[in-house]
Amino acid sequence: MRQLETDYLVVGAGAMGMAFADEILMRDSSVRVVLLDRRAGPGGHWNDAYPYVTLHQPAAFYGVNSEPLGPGGTYLASGSEVLTYYEKVLRKWEDTGRLQFFPRCEYLGSQRFRSLMNRESEYSVTVKRKTVDATYMKVTVPSTRPPKYEVEPGSNLVAPNELVRFRGSPSDYVVIGGGKTGIDAVLFLLKSGCAPEQIRWVIPHDAWLIDRAAFDPARFVELGSQMQEIAEGDSIEAIMASLESSGKLLRLDPKVRPTKYRCATVSRDEWEQLRRVDQVVRKGRVQQVTRENITLEQGTLQLTQDSLLVDCTADGLAKRPIRPVFEGAEITLQATFVCQQVFSAAWIGYLESRIADDSKKNALSRPVPHPEFVEDYFATLVGTNENLTSGLKRFPLWFVRSRLSALHYFGVRAAFRIAIRERKSQGQALAKAKALIGIEDRP
Ligand SMILES: Cc1cc2nc3c(=O)[nH]c(=O)nc-3n(C[C@H](O)[C@H](O)[C@H](O)COP(=O)(O)OP(=O)(O)OC[C@H]3O[C@@H](n4cnc5c(N)ncnc54)[C@H](O)[C@@H]3O)c2cc1C
């Protein structure tokens, strides 16, 4: 067994592991990191994504703090750009001699790991500071796991990755899943020349979508935050409807009330494209796929011999149980700002580099689990706001300088304008959000 010594042992070189490692390496030039991953390179789930994947939120906010990604604005990097970017970041840190990366290695627990290519090759690490779990989000993408429903052998069901190399000429397509992957698959089919009438889209539960304009620095002051709408709304339904009217949220069909909210983000153009698909199947989850039909919770869908089914049902980011981020010699990376996982991981890295006491660090980084239902919109808003307010009081400059922070792009002046404009509604909105979903004030 080989012996290694390091300050931080980071398990998982996905987006969160990279953002954390980058931050602590940047903050303290004496820090050394051992980083390992089952995969052959950094970037986590991006390595298995479908070729037409892009970020759904601006590249300007994505990646690590020490290295820009993309030309700025609302540009969305593609999956391959994201992977090239992570390779560059990794090489940059490897070249300093302060980061050692171990690809195709599996963590065994107790600071030991083993090569997946040679089971005899095992490492034991003396960790001087912390062991960091950067695998906790358990991201899944369709190409890495079988669907949860039953599939008859010989059925024409493919992962979204297969759409780019499928050689047949399907008569029609059935896209299964209404999340970010389903959206991408529908947009890809339309862009590749499919007529909307050729697509049937199975959406078990409609979700509210974020209008990407909300992330556009040029529209930040005009759109403002959601505080006004929440402060003035009487019910969850009324608030969601007014967020829709004010251009912050979108839904596929104005006649259907979404029950989910998972932060999927689209532009108005993409939304208009999606709305061209009329055959949206709202009959619950798929239970079984055969060569002739699809059985859903509330009905069946007939297939032809040439129907091609695209499985987009993997739960990319699941809602994970909360655990403290800082626990003695262990750090568990989790989102502390809603749907901003990389920003959260960098924030956790920053706190680690600035504060010694675990309870003080935990007070500034309470986990905000990934939202799933409409109610989670309010819970995650409250949690994010509390972390942001306490973080800004303590380390305002970090939020302004960090390229992963929206504040960096929106600018302090604009943020002040919004804060003054919304000074009354903010307190009311947070109290209303807590009351609507029954959460108590922080101790
Ligand atoms: C399609 C898609 C688009 C997205 N777009 C955006 C966006 O636009 N903006 C945004 O902010 N976020 C976006 N996200 C979310 C974000 O990119 C990350 O997915 C999220 O932060 C999770 O990253 P991660 O590092 O936690 O997980 P992963 O990417 O899964 O990385 C974890 C790594 O740990 C490794 N690992 C697991 N167990 C072990 C073990 N025992 N030993 C060794 N290695 C192990 C895995 O191989 C993996 O590489 C998107 C997510 C998806 C799925």
Instruction: For 73-100, give one letter per residue: b (16+ CB within 10 A) or e.
Output: ebebbbbebbbebbeebbeebeeeebbe
Task: List residues bridging with 100 in a β-sheet.
Answer: 34
Is the CB of 203 inside a 6 Å radius of any atom of ligand 1?
A: no
408 lines ligand 1 (CB under 6 A): no
Residue (of 101, 140, 13) closest to 64 by Cα position: 13
10 Å Cβ neighbour count for 143?
Answer: 17
Beta-strand (E) ranges in 23-136? 33-36, 99-102, 105-109, 112-115, 122-133
Question: Candidates 3.50.50.60, 3.90.1300.10, 3.40.640.10, 3.30.930.10; correct CATH number of 2-139+317-401?
Answer: 3.50.50.60
Pocket test for ligand 1, best of 38, 39, 45 (most atoms within 8 A of CB): 45
Euclidean distance between the first and final Cα of the chain, in Å? 47
Q: Are 36 and 107 in contact (CB under 8 A)?
A: yes
143-206+251-311: which CATH architecture? 3-Layer(bba) Sandwich (3.50)
pTM score: 0.95
265-286 in b/e form (b: 16+ CB < 10 A) is: bbbeebbebbeebeebbbbeeb
Any atom of ligand 1 within 6 Å of the Cβ of 161: no
Mutating to test ligand 1, I would choose from 36, 38, 334 the residue with most ligand atoms within 8 A of its C-beta, which is 38
Of the candidates 373, 338, 398, the residue with the CA atom closest to the CA atom of residue 23: 398
Residue located nearest, by CA, to atom 31 of ligand 1: 14
Rounded to whole angstroms, the Cα distance separating 87 from 12 reads 14
Domain with CATH 3.50.50.60 in the chain: 2-139+317-401, 143-206+251-311
Question: For residue 74, what is the DSSP state?
Answer: T
Determine the atom of ligand 1 nearest the C-alpha atom of 333.
Answer: 26
Q: In this predicted structure, what is the pLDDT of residue 442?
A: 67
Q: What pLDDT score was predicted for residue 251?
A: 97
**CA angle 194–199–200, rounded 5-degree value:** 175
If DSSP codes are grouped into helix, strand and coil, which group holds residue 241? Answer: helix
One digit per residue, the tens of pLDDT, for the chain of length 443 reads 899 999 999 999 999 999 999 999 999 999 999 999 999 999 999 999 999 999 999 999 999 999 999 998 889 999 999 999 999 999 999 999 999 999 999 999 999 999 999 989 999 999 999 999 999 988 877 777 889 999 999 999 999 999 998 888 899 999 999 999 999 999 999 999 999 999 999 999 999 999 998 888 777 666 677 888 999 999 999 999 999 999 999 999 999 999 999 999 999 999 999 999 999 999 999 999 999 999 999 999 999 999 999 999 987 677 788 999 999 999 999 999 999 999 999 999 999 999 999 999 999 999 999 999 999 999 999 999 999 999 999 999 999 999 999 888 877 777 777 778 777 888 899 999 999 988 777 66
Strands 112-115 and 122-133: antiparallel
* For the CA of 343, the nearest atom of ligand 1: 11
Q: Which atom of ligand 1 is nearest to the CA of 49?
A: 1
In this structure, which residue's CA is closest to atom 27 in ligand 1?
Answer: 14
Task: Report yes or no: 424 and 430 within 8 Å, Cβ to Cβ.
Answer: no
Q: How do strand 157-158 and strand 150-151 relate by DSSP bridges?
A: unpaired
